[in-house]
Amino acid sequence: MRILSKLTITLAAFSFISSVSAAELMTHDAFKKVASQYTKIGTISVSNETAASDAKAALIKKADEQGADVLILTSGNTSNKIHATANIYKKK
């Protein structure tokens, strides 16, 4: 859980730096406040990324390709290379 928190914070920090995209990376706490406005449309994952910014970009690209408005990081592993999983949601 500690790794997931660190990865979430790192990915969220990069969201302010990255270019504008359709899908927004949200924290679990922020999403809880607006969850009733969204429908889950799937789960995406990336692996073998070398930087948190690359993992974030890859997740957002996949979310965009599937028409998602929001993605929530559900797992992350930074052993050697970054692996991350996220649930994706579309606005109702």
Length of the chain: 92
Report CA Rg, the chain.
12
- pLDDT per position as a tens digit, 58-88: 999 999 999 999 999 999 888 889 999 999 9
Question: Backbone dihedral region of 48: left (phi > 0), alpha (psi from -120 to 50 degrees) or beta?
Answer: left
The pLDDT of residue 23: 93
- pLDDT per position as a tens digit, 16-62: 444 455 799 999 999 999 999 999 999 999 999 998 889 999 999 99
Judged against a pLDDT cut of 90, whether residue 11 lies above it is answered with: no
Write down all domains in the chain, each with its CATH number in brackets: 24-91 (3.30.1660.10)
The pLDDT of residue 45: 97
The pLDDT of residue 16: 47
Supply 1's token pair.
């859980």
Phi and psi at residue 78, to the nearest 5°: -120, 30
The pLDDT of residue 28: 92
